[in-house]
Structure formats: C-alpha cells, structure tokens
Amino acid sequence: MSSIGAVGATSTNLQSSNIGMQDFLNILLTQLTYQDPLKPMDNKEFMAQLAQFTTLGQTQELNGKIDSLLSTQASMQSVGLLGKTVTFNSQQGPLTGKVDSLSWAGTTPQLAIKDIPNVGTLSGISLSDVTLIK
C-alpha cells in the first residue's frame, strides 16, 4: 500500500488497484483549490506526493510483469512434464499416472494424465496438485 497526503495534515492509504492518474490529478487539483493563499503548498511536499504516485505506477507495472513471468514459467514447467510419470492429489486421494497432454484454462496450464490404475485418464489437473515427478 502507498499513501498520498490529502488536504491538510491527513493522509489516506490507497491500494494500488484503486487509484489511477485521473485520481491523482483530482487530488492535486483539490489541494491547489483549497490551499491557504498565505501558506501555499510546500514544493517539497508536492514533489514527495508526485514521487509516491510515480512509484505506485511503477509498482503496478512491475506486478503485471511478474504475473506474466509466473504464467510463462508455469507453462514451461508443464511442457517439461509431458511423458513423465507424476503423483498428484485428487478427490480420490493421491494418484499416479503419465502426463499425456496439456491445455490452458486462461493462462493456467491443465494436465491430462493417463494410465491411472482403476481410473484411466483424468484431465484438468493443475500443476499445484502435482506432488511427485518420476
């Protein structure tokens, strides 16, 4: 979370997903409109607020890139599992089978596992359910 000073000495904590450039400009305009003409806003305070907002924008961008990187990493891991025998958690308990194929549910890879004793083939298995790779 980041905080941006509001009118006067109060500050408001804002989550990064709830504030945008337009919100910042509205806050700035409000501060400039209601400031005391005999005590104008301190340049240092203004620059600190601007720096906080810039940092917030960069953090949002970084979070998006990290999410993309994690999605790509999960995809690469799932491709490496093709043809391997894995043990995974299911509603029936731990099961073991061979990874036959994979698909994507949005950006999340889903495994199809065959040769499962007494079950056959299951699909839609998440990477997070895999507990052992042989």
Output the DSSP codes for 23-74.
HHHHHHHHHHHHS-TTSPPPHHHHHHHHHHHHHHHHHHHHHHHHHHHHHHHH
pLDDT of the residue at 53? 78
Domains of the chain: 2-75 (no CATH), 81-133 (2.30.30)
pTM for the model: 0.50
Q: Are 123 and 112 in contact (CB under 8 A)?
A: yes
Residues in the chain: 134
Mean of per-residue pLDDT scores for the chain = 79
Q: How far is CA 40 from the centre of its chain?
A: 40
Given this model, what pLDDT does residue 98 score? 94
Q: With bands split at pLDDT 50, 70 and 90, how would you rate the model's confidence at 19?
A: low
pLDDT above 80 (res 133): yes
pLDDT at 17 over 60: no
Task: State the average pLDDT over residues 75-80.
Answer: 82
- Section 16-42 average pLDDT: 72
pLDDT value of position 22 = 78
83-to-42, 68, 78, 102, 110 alpha-carbon distances in Å: 65, 26, 11, 11, 14
- Within 8 A by CB and 6+ apart from 53, the residues are 4, 19, 24
